[in-house]
Amino acid sequence: MQPSPAGASLFRNVLANMGGYFAAVLITFVITPFLIRSLGPANYGAWSLVAELIGYYGLLDMGLRGAVTYYVARHRARHETEALSHIISSAFWALAAMGLIVMCIGAAIALTFPRWMNTAGLNVHDAQVALFLMSVVIGLSLPLESYSSALVGSMRLDLVNGIEVLNRLLMAAATYAVLTRGHGLIGLSLAYFACRALSWTLQMAAARRLLGGLFWTPALFRRDSLAELASYGIRNIVSALAGLLLYRTGSLITSVFLGVQYVTFYSIGSIMVTYASTACSSVTRSYTPKFTQLHAQGNIEELRRVFLSGSRISGLLAVFLFASLTGFCTPFLRLWVGPEFVTGPWTMRSDAVMIILFVAQLPRIMQSISWQLLFATARVRFLMWINIAEAASSLAVSLALVKPLGLAGVALGVLAPLLVTHLFLMPPYILRQLAMPAARYLREGIGAPLAIGASLLALNLALTAAAPPLTWTLFFSEAALSALAGAILVLAFGFTADERAQLKGKLYQAGRLIGVAS
């Protein structure tokens, strides 16, 4: 059974996103201990905090970059070339204006943040300069990464991820060079600036080649195109703000109430959860332009089929990561960054933060495909209200628990709202939108991932209890055994017969290509 061209494109995008994810994880695995040792806990905490604050600046795009992805996919599906040009150009100029606002806000925050944050042990001057430089990067990225959004809407995530992997590799090399020469936070910020500039240049070149232009000519700007973008984007901006309050306030609350040095402990606990979430969203984001295309064409039954397949595939990845990283959490952190992160009171340990956040995020990650479906069909009002409720609840609980329970209290603030919304609210809503019975969703979507995840978690806990992996050799041996068991379970019970046949065919073709190339 041969995949259709559209199916081949979707498969290529999923592989590209996963390749980008694994490259990011590998680079982070190698570079993070070096960063902590070179900068020290306080300065590393400041670097993590800068990344958190930068995330808030992205709100000033008003959802326009996500809207570019939606409208590019829609106009390409309908072969509306002129409208596509106006959409990209209008977004570019609007985002350029917002970029100037970001730089001004960054300068103000850089000057004032020592007055409202616990800065014990921190090189305040370097942190201020780094924050301002990173604000300039974000200000420039707002208009320039509209080209990346256009490439995503064109279903060329392979290009986007290839450029991003190159950027990460160069940044890892630059980080090593900068820190071994003692240039600290300022050097890191300048290196990040240079690597992003190269990425923007490559994205623009790819967009010009694929779409036939750079679309930054002012004559292409249209108010009606900007109004279209804003009508889609404004519905996302509230959701984005709430999402940032939910996912990015942990480090900020930690720095204010516990001190910047403890941001490192929270960041280490949350970083692998973030990467697990990114892994699954890298799969589900590949489906977004496909969903938009099918919805624009009115092909609802195919939309249901692709949604169920995406739910199962992303669910398998989610439970595999959850079972692996939760089962091996403490020994992994002990070996990776040191025993000080997994010893002492459980409320101040990175492994406790990691496990709490994983439990909180699993339902959300498994519903990631549902989020992308609603984004792709411009049905985001429900997401907005869910995000508002989650953010308000999480902030209140975290603030209440940070003093008595420390880092664990901050993490617990995320747990309760996510469990409620993504176990009891999201599934019924999405099934109504698709007019799909729950039995079919369980049978063809999430049923197999849940059963496989429970089995794999039990195996991993048994392995680490029977033979605690105190060395990297033993850790990787047990991890390999777990991965083998997971692969057998997934192949036996996670795929349909047709999907196994397609996968076999693709692997055979890939093998032939490698053979020819060699």
Helices first, then strands: H and E counts in the chain:
21, 0
Q: Is there a domain that residue 336 lies in?
A: no
Q: Is there a domain that residue 408 lies in?
A: no
Give the whole-angstrom CA distance, residue 77 versus residue 74: 5
Q: Is there a domain that residue 89 lies in?
A: yes
For the chain, what is the domain count? Answer: 1
| pLDDT score recorded for residue 9 | 61
| pLDDT score recorded for residue 375 | 80
Q: Is there a domain that residue 362 lies in?
A: no
List C-alpha distances in Å: 154 to 21, 41, 192. 20, 42, 27
Give the whole-angstrom CA distance, residue 413 versus residue 250: 9
| pLDDT score recorded for residue 348 | 92
Instruction: 486-491: list long-range contacts, CB under 8 Å, 24+ apart.
Output: 486/320, 486/323, 486/324, 486/452, 486/456, 489/452, 489/455, 489/456, 490/316, 490/320, 490/452
Within 8 A by CB and 6+ apart from 301, the residues are none
Within 8 A by CB and 6+ apart from 34, the residues are 175, 176, 179
Per-residue pLDDT tens for 452-487? Answer: 999 999 999 999 999 999 999 999 999 999 999 998
Q: Is there a domain that residue 64 lies in?
A: yes
CB-facing half-sphere around the CA of 68: CA atoms within 13 A? 28
Domain that residue 36 falls in: 1-221
Q: Is there a domain that residue 490 lies in?
A: no
| pLDDT score recorded for residue 4 | 40
Locus of tokens 């990015």: 248
| pLDDT score recorded for residue 407 | 92
| pLDDT score recorded for residue 16 | 67
Q: 171 near 25, Cβ under 8 Å? A: no
Other CB atoms within 10 Å distance of the CB of residue 18: 16
Residues of the chain with pLDDT under 50: 1-8, 516-518
Q: 292 near 376, Cβ under 8 Å? A: yes
Give the whole-angstrom CA distance, residue 84 versus residue 74: 9
| pLDDT score recorded for residue 353 | 92
Q: Is there a domain that residue 177 lies in?
A: yes
Locus of tokens 């404004």: 234
| pLDDT score recorded for residue 98 | 85
Q: What's the CA dihedral at 205, 211, 216, 220 to 10 degrees?
A: 170
Q: What is the DSSP string of 18-82?
A: HHHHHHHHHHHHHHHHHHHHHHHHHHHHHHHHHHHHHHHHGGGGTTHHHHHHHHHHHHHHTT-HH
Q: Is there a domain that residue 227 lies in?
A: no
- SS3 for 96-155, per residue? HHHHHHHHHHHHHHHHHHHHHCCCCCCCHHHHHHHHHHHHHHHHHHHHHCHHHHHHHHCC
Helix (H) or strand (E) holding 476: helix 472-489
| pLDDT score recorded for residue 59 | 60
For residue 273, what are its two tokens? 């959860």
